[in-house]
Structure 1
Amino acid sequence: MRISDKLFGPKQRWRLAFSVISICNALISLTKKKLLPAIQRTPSYKVIDIHADDEVNESDQNHIPFYKIDPKSLVNVVKERSLELLGQLGGVEGVVALVETDAENGIVDGVKNLSCRRNVFGANTYPKKPPKGFFYFMVEAFKDTTILILLVCAALSLGFGINKAGWANGWYDGGSIYIAVFLVIGVSAVSNFKQSRQFEKLSKESANIKVDVVRDGRRQEVSTFDIVVGDIVCLKIGDQIPADGLFLSGYSLTVDESSITGEGDHLDVNWSENPFLFSGAKVVDGYVQMLVTSVGMNTTWGEVMGSINRDTNEQTPLQARLDKLTSYIGKIGLTVAFFVLVVLLVRYFTGTSKDAEGHREYLGRETKFRDVMNAVILIISDAVTIVVVAIPEGLPLAVTLTLAFSMKRMMSDMAMVRKLSACETMGSATIICTDKTGTLTLNQMKVTEFWLGQNAINNDSLHKISLNVLELLRQGVSLNTTGNVYRANSGMAAEFCGSPTEKALLSWAVFDLGMNMEELKRDCSILHVETFNSEKKRSGISMRKKDDEKTIYVHWKGAAEMIVSMCSSYQDQTGVINSIDEAEKVIFNQIIQGMAAKSLRCIAFAYGKVVEGEFGYSDPQLLKEEGLVLFGVVGLKDPCRPEVKSAVEACRGAGVKIKMITGDNLFTARAIAIECGILSEEVGFDNGEVVEGAEFRNYTPEERAEKVNIICVMARSSPLDKLLMVQCLKQIGHVVAVTGDGTNDAPALKEADIGLSMGIQGTEVAKESSDIIILDDNFTSIVTVLKWGRCVYNNIQKFIQFQLTVNIAALVINLIAAVSAGEIPLTAVQMLWVNLIMDTLGALALATERPTEDLMEKPPVGRSKPLITNIMWRNLISQALYQVAVLLTLQFKGEAIFGVNEKVKDTLLFNTFVFCQVFNEFNSRKLEKKNVFEGILRNKLFMGIIGVTVVLQVVMVEFLKKFAGTHRLNWGQWGACIGVAAISWPLGWVVKCIPVSN
Structure 2
Amino acid sequence: MGSATVICTDKTGTLTLNQMKVTKFWLGQESMEERNSTSISDNVLELLHQGVGLNTTGTVYKSTSGPEFEFSGSPTEKAILFWAVMELNMDMEKLKQSCSILHVEAFNSTKKRSGVSMRKKDDSTINVHWKGAAEMVLAMCSHYYDVSGEIKVLDDVERKKFDQMIQGMATSSLRCIAFAHKQVQEEENEGEKVNKNLKDSNLTLLGLVGIKDPCRPGVQKAVEACQYAGVNIKMITGDNVFTARAIATECGILRPNQDISGAVVEGEEFRNYTPEQRLEKVDKICVMARSSPFDKLLMVQCLKQKGHVVAVTGDGTNDAPALKEADIGLSMGIQGTEVAKESSDIVILDDNFGSVVTVLKWGRCVYNNIQKFIQFQLTVNVAALFINFVAAVSAGEVPLTAVQLLWVNLIMDTLGALALATEKPSNELMQKPPVGRTKPLITNIMWRNLLAQAFYQIAVLLTLQFGGKSIFGVNTNVNNTLIFNTFVLCQVFNEFNARKLEKKNVFKEIHRSKLFLAIIGITIVLQVVMVEFLKKFAGTERLSWGQWGVCVGIASVSWPIGWVFKCIPVPEKPFCSYLKWQNLKCVCK
Distance in 2, matches of 1:588 and 1:487, equals 36
Corresponding position of 1:548: 123
Deviations 1:738-787 (A, max 9, x none): 12222222222222212222222222222222222222111111111111
The TM-score with structure 2 as length reference comes to 0.94
Distance in 1, matches of 2:364 and 2:259, equals 34
1:488 to 27, 44, 63: 63
Distance in 2, matches of 1:683 and 1:977, equals 62
1:638 to 197, 207, 213: 213
Per-residue deviation at 1:491? 7.5
Per-residue deviation at 1:489? 4.2
Deviations 1:916-950 (A, max 9, x none): 11111111111111111222222222122111111
Match status 1:793 vs 2:367: yes
Deviations 1:809-855 (A, max 9, x none): 00111111112222101122111110101211111211111221111
1:968 to 542, 545, 555: 542
1:810 partner letter:
A
In 2 relative to 1, CA 530–926 (structure 1 residues): closer, same or farther, beyond 3 Å?
same
| Structure 2 unpaired stretches of 5+ | 573-589
Match status 1:873 vs 2:412: no
1:677 partner letter:
G
2:385 to 808, 811, 834: 811
Which aligned pairs between 1:881-892 and structure 2 lie closer than 5 A?
881-892=455-466
Corresponding position of 2:435: 861
Match status 1:571 vs 2:145: yes
In 2 relative to 1, CA 731–618 (structure 1 residues): closer, same or farther, beyond 3 Å?
closer
In 2 relative to 1, CA 774–489 (structure 1 residues): closer, same or farther, beyond 3 Å?
closer
Corresponding position of 2:203: 628
- Contact 1:612–1:618 (Cα < 8 Å) also in 2: no
2:41 to 454, 466, 471: 466
- Contact 1:651–1:783 (Cα < 8 Å) also in 2: yes
Distance in 2, matches of 1:589 and 1:447, equals 19
Corresponding position of 1:435: 10
Which aligned pairs between 1:769-780 and structure 2 lie closer than 5 A?
769-780=343-354
| Structure 1 unpaired stretches of 5+ | 1-425
Distance in 1, matches of 2:258 and 2:68, equals 45
2:470 to 874, 896, 901: 896
Match status 1:984 vs 2:580: no
1:592 to 161, 166, 184: 166
User: SS of the residue aligned with 1:777?
Assistant: coil
Corresponding position of 1:580: 154
User: SS of the residue aligned with 2:107?
Assistant: coil
Distance in 2, matches of 1:536 and 1:824, equals 77
Q: Which moved more, 1:631-640 or 1:940-949?
A: 940-949
Over alpha carbons, which structure has the higher Rg?
A: 1
2:85 partner letter:
V
Corresponding position of 1:504: 79
Match status 1:750 vs 2:324: yes
Per-residue deviation at 1:863? 1.5
- Contact 1:540–1:557 (Cα < 8 Å) also in 2: yes
1:525 partner letter:
S
Percent identical pairs in the alignment equals 74
Corresponding position of 1:518: 93
1:917 to 491, 495, 513: 491
1:520 partner letter:
L
User: SS of the residue aligned with 1:924?
Assistant: helix
Which aligned pairs between 1:272-351 and structure 2 lie closer than 5 A?
none
Distance in 2, matches of 1:788 and 1:618, equals 55
Deviations 1:416-442 (A, max 9, x none): xxxxxxxxxx11111111111111111
- Contact 2:192–2:199 (Cα < 8 Å) also in 1: no
The TM-score with structure 1 as length reference comes to 0.56
- Contact 1:477–1:509 (Cα < 8 Å) also in 2: yes
User: SS of the residue aligned with 1:937?
Assistant: helix
Distance in 1, matches of 2:248 and 2:188, equals 47
In 2 relative to 1, CA 492–438 (structure 1 residues): closer, same or farther, beyond 3 Å?
closer
Highest RCO, 1 vs 2 (Cα 8 Å, sep ≥ 6): 2
Per-residue deviation at 1:862? 1.3
Per-residue deviation at 1:789? 1.6
Distance in 1, matches of 2:506 and 2:73, equals 52
Aligned-residue Cα RMSD (Å) equals 1.6
Which aligned pairs between 1:633-672 and structure 2 lie closer than 5 A?
633-672=208-247
Corresponding position of 2:131: 557
Corresponding position of 2:177: 603
- Contact 2:220–2:250 (Cα < 8 Å) also in 1: yes
Corresponding position of 2:254: 679
Corresponding position of 2:313: 739
Per-residue deviation at 1:960? 1.1
- Contact 1:749–1:756 (Cα < 8 Å) also in 2: yes
In 2 relative to 1, CA 912–548 (structure 1 residues): closer, same or farther, beyond 3 Å?
same
Q: Which moved more, 1:751-760 or 1:975-984?
A: 751-760
Distance in 2, matches of 1:646 and 1:761, equals 23
User: SS of the residue aligned with 2:248?
Assistant: helix
Corresponding position of 2:514: 940
Match status 1:447 vs 2:46: no
Match status 1:844 vs 2:425: no
Distance in 1, matches of 2:485 and 2:66, equals 79
1:894 partner letter:
G
In 2 relative to 1, CA 896–709 (structure 1 residues): closer, same or farther, beyond 3 Å?
same
Corresponding position of 2:32: 457
User: SS of the residue aligned with 1:623?
Assistant: coil
1:987 partner letter:
I
Which aligned pairs between 1:55-454 and structure 2 lie closer than 5 A?
426-454=1-29
Distance in 2, matches of 1:523 and 1:936, equals 72
- Contact 1:555–1:608 (Cα < 8 Å) also in 2: yes
The runs of at least 4 aligned residues of structure 1 exceeding 6 Å deviation read: none
Corresponding position of 2:408: 834
Distance in 2, matches of 1:678 and 1:983, equals 49
Corresponding position of 1:704: 278
Per-residue deviation at 1:615? 7.9
Distance in 2, matches of 1:746 and 1:655, equals 27
Corresponding position of 1:908: 482
1:762 partner letter:
G
Distance in 2, matches of 1:547 and 1:683, equals 57
Distance in 1, matches of 2:274 and 2:230, equals 28
User: SS of the residue aligned with 1:531?
Assistant: strand
- Contact 1:904–1:966 (Cα < 8 Å) also in 2: yes
Deviations 1:64-123 (A, max 9, x none): xxxxxxxxxxxxxxxxxxxxxxxxxxxxxxxxxxxxxxxxxxxxxxxxxxxxxxxxxxxx
- Contact 2:192–2:198 (Cα < 8 Å) also in 1: no
Distance in 1, matches of 2:557 and 2:135, equals 72
Distance in 2, matches of 1:510 and 1:623, equals 27
Aligned length: 571
Distance in 2, matches of 1:530 and 1:875, equals 65
Corresponding position of 2:582: none
In 2 relative to 1, CA 857–489 (structure 1 residues): closer, same or farther, beyond 3 Å?
closer
Per-residue deviation at 1:461? 4.4
Match status 1:716 vs 2:290: yes
User: SS of the residue aligned with 2:366?
Assistant: helix
Deviations 1:279-337 (A, max 9, x none): xxxxxxxxxxxxxxxxxxxxxxxxxxxxxxxxxxxxxxxxxxxxxxxxxxxxxxxxxxx
Deviations 1:36-67 (A, max 9, x none): xxxxxxxxxxxxxxxxxxxxxxxxxxxxxxxx
